[in-house]
Structure 1
């Protein structure tokens, strides 16, 4: 599990032993360093997330606990030891007081730190909660589940709203696009499903990426997502960013300025990729070139950083052609 600080060059990472690490990173070789580590979790750390102000780090674990640490020192401030009945899988800060968690059994909870307890509890989905997203107002919480459904919760009114129709395969990720007008979900079948904001009952469109599975997804711009997938054939997408050779991508995170993409995989490495060019890419122009038979080339053939240890110094390194994160527009649809 990895997360990037909302304002500073800091990376938080959790591992399968339950340890959490904080690193400062730089594009200059030799300037990466570990700031602190925490071994409070008894089992695998499944997810980490910074608070919106960047002062706190939320961590959740297979041991069913939620920990809230100070980002600066790694000091444990708050602990919910038996937060869920099942192993926790994801955490999402909604504002500086409210955050949400999801577990392996399909349960979702919304917590208020001022009360020190959950203010919403529901189990509407039958399988694990893989990912969560919230709108810009902190009102609507979306949950992707292994049962193939997208769940919708009203945080302000503290209630469950509705479930989408089940899609093919597990839903593995959920992100907001098009200034919140669209929602994209990745699936274990290698398909991205699109939902209109006020039409969560059924998908409005779908893009098949010809991937064995989509493991994670993050928005880079308002119209472009990067996808962590297994065995993508990059003739249906904008291009390849990079790869963890022979390993699936577990999680992606984008720096606050949108210029760096971090990826983590089973190879115990965190790699950084330069995605600054995506901000100026015009998708329509690219699609027209593709229809004319123009070649698809990698967006970046160099990793800004990779290494043999868990977090190595950033350095230029040419990667073989493959897909660690791919732009998510297949050209199969004209929908926005």
Structure 2
């Protein structure tokens, strides 16, 4: 189904991965606090004449193109926990165990804004777990203490002490995933105003205007990841719209939109004698690839499995890494799958699409990005080993995921943006 086009080694463990909504660009957040942004080869240049260009043309299909480092920097003191692009792709938001959210230009990496995450009651840093740009006006930020902060991006944050417009607590445990629900047909803005979160063993739905609408019954399993899929078979009470949730025991649960009291279907992705493997990340396979309704599942075992919706069964699998779990998973604007975990990011091309090319498919080709590096902090060369090691164990211990808040570094003061 997919084969490796290239492998991109990273200098530290991957903790976050984001894919640009409009361009073949990916950003990664690392345990070292670094954020790096890469541009993948574009298929648009495949038809260019090499002689006319004076250089080898980029080819995402045959694996001969170059991955360019757009920029890289030590963005956070401690680990970069979570990362996302804005709705238009012009801004990339990162949040780290230093308790700071930084908004930077996606093209240059230059920081334009900073927000301090509100401290916990005991005065310690409340490390972030999820950051998501709901719309051009609203940024959502979830934390270890189960807080869900809403920031109005129209307010100029000239200082790092900006406070959230709203704060909700949809769960009793840290928030592990956040999935926006598409706007209704009557929406005038065209942007989502509701979203689903998972935290501990519950699922919750929150509304931008009305706050937390509901929380599910205890599922007796840690819920880790989630995504939304539409266009499924409808009939009876089913609208053909589901929220798919990955658990720590290797089971996908399907939740009918609008019927949030409990799950209505289960899919066993990977079962084991001592319990199933954790389903760390989910992504919908684009309809344009012609695979039907399908979910790609990144596992803690390092595998990626593909679940066909309708028959609701695993139809194929591949291996991202033999030892490290899959932390990031998604599809870029050109339909390539990007998986990340451990100290490597892999780019995969649809096998059927590659057969239409020149047949020169190298399987796995290691590609190194070029470019320069800058730094947000004067002490960027000093490694925060304690925080990095603690966050690394966070990824390896699924039951302790998000519990390293005591190791987060205290925020002092910042006078400049970058």
Q: Which residue number corresponds to residue 164 of structure 2?
A: 118
Matched, 1:82 2:152: no
Q: CA deviation at 1:119?
A: 2.3
Q: Which residue number corresponds to residue 317 of structure 1?
A: none
Kindly report which structure 2 residues correspond to 1:236-275, keeping only aligned pairs within 5 A, or say none.
237-257=314-334, 259-266=335-342, 268-275=343-350
Say which SS state the counterpart of residue 228 (structure 1) adopts. Answer: strand
Find the partner of 1:153 among 206, 217, 227: 206
Say which SS state the counterpart of residue 247 (structure 1) adopts. Answer: coil
Kindly report which structure 2 residues correspond to 1:291-330, keeping only aligned pairs within 5 A, or say none.
307=366
Kept after mapping to 1: 8 A contact 2:96/2:127? yes
Say which SS state the counterpart of residue 118 (structure 1) adopts. Answer: coil
Kept after mapping to 1: 8 A contact 2:297/2:304? no
Q: Which residue number corresponds to residue 320 of structure 1?
A: none
Q: CA deviation at 1:305?
A: 5.4
Shift in alpha-carbon separation, 1:193–1:106, aligned structure 2, 3 A: same
Matches of 1:23 and 1:225, distance apart in 2: 25
Q: Which residue number corresponds to residue 16 of structure 1?
A: 31
Q: Which residue number corresponds to residue 182 of structure 2?
A: 136
Matches of 1:53 and 1:163, distance apart in 2: 31
Kept after mapping to 2: 8 A contact 1:63/1:88? no
Q: Which residue number corresponds to residue 136 of structure 2?
A: 96
Find the partner of 2:259 among 175, 193, 199: 199
Q: CA deviation at 1:158?
A: 4.4
**What TM-score do the two structures reach when normalised by structure 2?**
0.63
Find the partner of 1:220 among 282, 285, 289: 285
Matched, 1:176 2:228: yes
Say which SS state the counterpart of residue 322 (structure 2) adopts. Answer: coil
Matches of 2:247 and 2:285, distance apart in 1: 19
Shift in alpha-carbon separation, 1:276–1:91, aligned structure 2, 3 A: farther
Q: Which residue number corresponds to residue 282 of structure 1?
A: none
Q: Which residue number corresponds to residue 189 of structure 1?
A: 249
Higher mean alpha-carbon deviation, 41-50 vs 228-237, is at 228-237
Matched, 1:65 2:119: no
Task: Name which one, 1 or 2, has greater alpha-carbon Rg.
Answer: 2
Say which SS state the counterpart of residue 249 (structure 1) adopts. Answer: coil
1:156-185: CA deviation from partner (whole Å, max 9, x where unpaired): x14111111122321111111124711000
Q: CA deviation at 1:303?
A: 8.8
Say which SS state the counterpart of residue 141 (structure 2) adopts. Answer: strand
1:217-237: CA deviation from partner (whole Å, max 9, x where unpaired): 111146211001145797951
Say which SS state the counterpart of residue 227 (structure 1) adopts. Answer: strand
Higher mean alpha-carbon deviation, 197-206 vs 225-234, is at 225-234
Say which SS state the counterpart of residue 186 (structure 1) adopts. Answer: strand
Q: CA deviation at 1:105?
A: 1.6
Matches of 1:97 and 1:303, distance apart in 2: 44
Matches of 1:192 and 1:198, distance apart in 2: 18
Matches of 2:330 and 2:336, distance apart in 1: 9
Kept after mapping to 1: 8 A contact 2:304/2:319? no
Q: CA deviation at 1:76?
A: 0.3
Q: CA deviation at 1:131?
A: 1.1
Shift in alpha-carbon separation, 1:272–1:160, aligned structure 2, 3 A: same
Matches of 1:17 and 1:71, distance apart in 2: 20
Shift in alpha-carbon separation, 1:106–1:303, aligned structure 2, 3 A: farther
When the two structures are aligned, how many residues end up with a matched partner?
Answer: 284
1:288-310: CA deviation from partner (whole Å, max 9, x where unpaired): xxxxxxxxxxxxxx89656487x
Please list every run of 5 or more consecutive structure 1 residues that lacks an aligned counterpart in the other structure: 279-301, 313-336
Shift in alpha-carbon separation, 1:18–1:11, aligned structure 2, 3 A: same
Q: Considering only aligned residues, what root-mean-square deviation do their CA atoms show, in Å?
A: 2.5
Kept after mapping to 1: 8 A contact 2:205/2:214? yes
